[in-house]
Structure 1
């Protein structure tokens, strides 16, 4: 993996200019490290070319649930407003060692726990494609900051969809890696068996470059798995002819608009033109994934994590967070056990399917980003992660990427999922799609 030769200082200055221009409207950033980033860029530019890292000068921000030594990690909660990190997260060290410029911390849904990023304490994040709409969550600031060109890549986190939903709503590529592939040490999470960290960027190639740097075993993370990381960059540009993609119309097409259906059908046609075989499959009772993961396991784990603090400082939690935690507190042991048995069976079923196909393709979200004024309608909020829970429950990697635009000019998105630790294959398929389409090259009107 060869470093790119370009000016880190120029890239950093451009990102800071865009933050100054667009962040007052979008509110994507909680912390901006302007002086620190410029000094870092100058140091990188002084290095001889042969000493530069694989991410030389790439401007990256961290979702503000990830530690950067000397910087506050808030998780968008007033409770953590003075929580200065003493050490770098594993992922922060990896980025810095590879030559990245970390420009700051992005806004998010409070406690990494919601799909809208309408923060009670740090203000709502707005969507650069239409500021009257939400950017998705919980990594909403990550998605909005990349779309508004405040950075090249942002590192987000995903428990049930929090990387892929903001990617979908902001017209980006976003990778949820396999559980255990990228260390979560030094980050605030929700449910350890399902939490992951991963990159969001405009291009799959940028996402793949960052993935290659941050993936790897970390003994400090109990969920980390000691397994070799294949070179995803070496296969990125290889032909996908002969690959097999599975697809299920049932259930997915019951919940999406005709224009999203058309975009998905067009994407399947693109893959056919590249020599990929499309295989019709049926995933069985996959419609239960959101109930089992989103409404049981994650809620119960989150309640246990916050139980004591919630009792001591209830007013420091947003109303929506209190509501979700209260539901988690009412779940019984049998409820949790039943959900775990379903997840185990689903993972086993899916592992068998992935011996027949290289990847699965589906819509990322069933709806367009809702208007912020409509957020009191719980139906829309419940709909947002309906599809992303499916592969999160299985712990397998999945990649969201843009596949079209709605009549209103909002991004449409599809998701590619692969077998556990099969990130290289879905990155290859995603990159192949982007090589023959231009959806990822479009810019929001705000920054056009």
Structure 2
């Protein structure tokens, strides 16, 4: 496909992406806005190459950006009609870093409004539809980013992940999705959902592209290639019952074993149901965090100044009214108890993994293949990464006509191992 041809000019690659958006996106609803500066940036990149100016690590890579991340001169809508003209004061730091690395931003992608769900439905852009199963959600909340990459609207995309919002659409669209460790990448200029678990990461076609983008955003990878055979625990209880998901997991596990990993199957997390019980951090943190974001992030007069004002205006998905009202009523002090529960989960996981001498964990990204436009039942396993703060990567493992993602999770500092194991699965 022309967007990936390294010999093509950057402008030609951009044009190929724009042509696909123009001819296809009415079917998928992946894009919300095009970047008016993209062509100038592409021409500047081609001119720099002609001058043999040293190129950045992402020189000429066409990226799509989830529309809850600030780009100067473009509205940051979070998918919400009330924010369709909300002009940020400046770029998010990660955007500055991507541009400095040579990336060309084609535009902003549709998402679950406010990033609330694991489907992608917004009052501004409607439902993002799967290119594999067109009457089905593409996953969320970064669904537009996933479809943009799957259909060639961009070489890769950036999404956000609070409870699965990069990994889920990556799995639904046959792509690689990386959730970096919490706190590794700056989140200024990114609409908050729950600051204690929010992250930002790439959705890409290959593990190598995800790694390159992560590093360009400011990510860190400690050490070199994994030297010892890693021991990977299999969360068999998280597999669900769909035979397509189970078959994909078994294929990936065989590939890992053939690649030298030691597979510990099953691995059981003691008292996991109790450790995951209780209020969700999003319910507790969203209202205060998003309200502060509205008050300070935008040019005066382009956006509601508070969450209460947004609610009063009514320009959002009506089914979210009780959700927002509930979150406005929560006491921020509840966060202490929720975060203490996260620490208990992490401590339990660390002890249990040490007893089995495990380096990482394996499970399907989703235990189901999504059907229809509702929220897919992803299961409890994708919550392990946000609640521990550890990095995780979702890698395609299903048949080409039926995407299934499998996830690898490891403690912070084991990113190189995650990339090494993800490459083994990718080669299948």
TM-score by length of 2: 0.87
Judge conservation of contact 1:365–1:386 (CA < 8 Å) in 2. Answer: no
Q: C-alpha root-mean-square deviation of aligned residues, in Å?
A: 2.4
SS of alignment partner, residue 203 of structure 2: strand
**Is there any run of 5+ residues in structure 2 with no aligned partner, and where?**
1-5, 292-305
User: Aligned pair in 2 of structure 1 residues 184, 268: CA closer, same or farther (>3 Å)?
Assistant: same
Counterpart Cα distance in 1 of 2:87 and 2:290:
20
The equivalences for 1:35-434 within 5 A come to 35-47=36-48, 48-49=51-52, 51-216=54-219, 229-230=220-221, 235=224, 238=225, 242-249=229-236, 251-253=237-239, 255-280=240-265, 281-288=267-274, 291-292=277-278, 295-305=279-289, 309-310=307-308, 313-314=311-312, 315-328=314-327, 336-353=335-352, 356-372=357-373, 375=374, 381=375, 383-384=377-378, 386-405=380-399, 409-434=401-426
Counterpart Cα distance in 2 of 1:310 and 1:32:
30
Counterpart Cα distance in 2 of 1:79 and 1:27:
19
Deviation at residue 267 of structure 1 after TM alignment = 1.0
54-63 or 381-390: which moved more?
Answer: 381-390
Counterpart Cα distance in 2 of 1:75 and 1:128:
22
Match of 1:22 in 2: 24
Aligned residues, how many?
403
Counterpart Cα distance in 1 of 2:13 and 2:273:
44
User: Aligned pair in 2 of structure 1 residues 248, 19: CA closer, same or farther (>3 Å)?
Assistant: same
SS of alignment partner, residue 411 of structure 2: coil
Deviation at residue 272 of structure 1 after TM alignment = 0.8
Judge conservation of contact 1:363–1:413 (CA < 8 Å) in 2. Answer: yes
Match of 1:443 in 2: none
Deviation at residue 79 of structure 1 after TM alignment = 2.0
Q: Deviations over 1:293-341 (max 9, x none)?
A: xx52111212334575246634223233223334445656786544332
Match of 2:11 in 1: 9
167-176 or 41-50: which moved more?
Answer: 41-50
Judge conservation of contact 1:303–1:326 (CA < 8 Å) in 2. Answer: no
Judge conservation of contact 1:132–1:371 (CA < 8 Å) in 2. Answer: yes
Q: Deviations over 1:211-233 (max 9, x none)?
A: 111025xxxxxxxxxxxx2368x
